[in-house]
Amino acid sequence: MKKQTVKLEDVAAAAGVSKTTVSRVLNNRGYLSQTTIKKVHQAMAELHYRPNVIARQLYQQRTNLVGLVFPTVDNPFFAQLEAQLDRELYRRGYRVLMGNSQNNPQREEAYLRQLLNGQVDGLIVGAHNEGIEQYRDTTLPIVSIERWVSKDIPVVAADNYAGGTLATERLLAAGCQHIIHTNYPHDLPSPNLERRRAYEELMRKYHRPAVTYEVNFDSSVEEKLVIFNQLFDKHPEVDGIFADNDTNASLIMRVARERGRQIPRDLRVVGFDGANMTRTLLPELTTIQQPIDQMASTAVELLQKRITGKKTVGTVQLPVKLIAGTTA
């Protein structure tokens, strides 16, 4: 015999509630007591009821899918950020589709096309490619993290200027006379450049030369090691380095030690990010810690507001703090 399909009214009868109440439980609409919700879920479990997901999505005009587009998970900052975004979205009932662009514009555009065709409810982005028209040509709710995408898309960022100030002041207070900074190329629109602005303004204030080495985020380790070796070749006098991220700080310390520099006696180094994995593997690094988990929860909160049609602010700036280690 053919197994009879369990219907909504069957669940309602088993739970002793109306069909409308069952529908409200399924769609998470309106106020319902925990007792009622529990009774409905218990009835669904006993009857092996499976909601018609497609019908619900058509009714709600939502998929409960959110797309994430970031450069890579092969980096402690982005790995922690994406993991926390996934947790926050899951807690609010969303499923996640992830795309790592590797900072390749064509790859990012391909991910965006796939995500938009998949009818996601919204996007959270943090890749660093410029001029991608899909961000400007869609009405889809989008939130950006540490990236300026367009004037209509809110940005969640750490207070990069304050972080740059803390890092540079730490090196100056330690007596460093020749401080070098690493950062993204100056023509890449990113809140990251506020770290550079803080460093250069402080160096001018104290009548010190400001030297910034521009390093692409997506450069290979080998390419970065070439740049950092050139840094020491051209500036043997350097006694302090403010790296724009902890990964670069780690590579710089590696090059310095290979050249016989002792840290912090001969060279002091301050990083930026302070991700959990970095703090575990490199606890000696003095760094500026971004509130990564708070950035994720704030971005998800903003996105949910935009999905439900609520007004949102343009930019949210979150505080940073200095984590003191032995490198500076």
The 10s digit of each residue's pLDDT in 277-306 is 999 999 999 999 999 999 999 999 999 998
- Encoded tokens for 145: 């993290």
pLDDT in tens, 201-219: 999 999 999 999 999 887 8
Pairing of strands 286-289, 321-323: antiparallel
Average pLDDT over residues 154-173: 96
CATH number of the domain encompassing residue 19: 1.10.260.40
Q: Any idea of the CA torsion for 13, 14, 15, 19, to the nearest 10 degrees?
A: -30
Global pTM?
Answer: 0.77
Q: Would you say residue 53 lies in a domain?
A: yes
**Structural domains of the chain, count:** 3
Q: For tokens 């006694």, what's the residue?
A: 239
Note the pLDDT of residue 115.
62
pLDDT tens digits, one per residue of 182-204 = 998 887 777 889 999 999 999 99
pLDDT digits (tens, 9 = 90+) for 9-65: 888 899 899 888 887 787 666 677 888 888 888 988 888 876 655 445 444 456 788
> pLDDT digits over 119-161, tens only?
778 889 886 555 555 555 567 788 999 888 777 888 999 999 9
pLDDT one-digit tens code per residue, 71-117 = 877 789 999 999 999 999 998 888 888 766 555 566 666 666 666 65
Question: Residues 1-7: what's their mean pLDDT?
Answer: 60
Residues 152 and 297 in one domain: yes
In this model, does residue 2 exceed pLDDT 50? no
Closest CA to 51 of 82, 118, 6: 6
Q: Name the residue with higher pLDDT: 250 or 188.
A: 250
- In this structure, the answer to whether residues 69 and 129 fall within a common structural domain is yes
pLDDT tier at 169, thresholds 50, 70, 90: very high
Establish if 106 belongs to a structural domain.
yes
The answer as to whether 2 is a domain residue is: no
Are residues 170 and 151 located together in one domain of the fold? no
CATH assignment of the domain containing 117: 3.40.50.2300
Q: Are 133 and 235 found together in one domain?
A: no
pLDDT at 98: 75
Candidates 309, 313, 315; CA nearest to 141 is: 309
- Evaluate whether residue 328 is within a structural domain: no
- 169 & 251 share domain: yes
Whether 283 and 170 share a structural domain: yes
Q: Does residue 265 sit in the same domain as residue 188?
A: yes
Shared-domain flag, residues 172 and 210:
yes
Residues 126 and 143 in one domain: yes
Domain span at residue 41 reads 8-60
Q: Which residues contact 321 (CB under 8 A, 6 or more apart)?
A: 166, 288, 289
Beta strands 95-100 and 65-70: pairing type? parallel
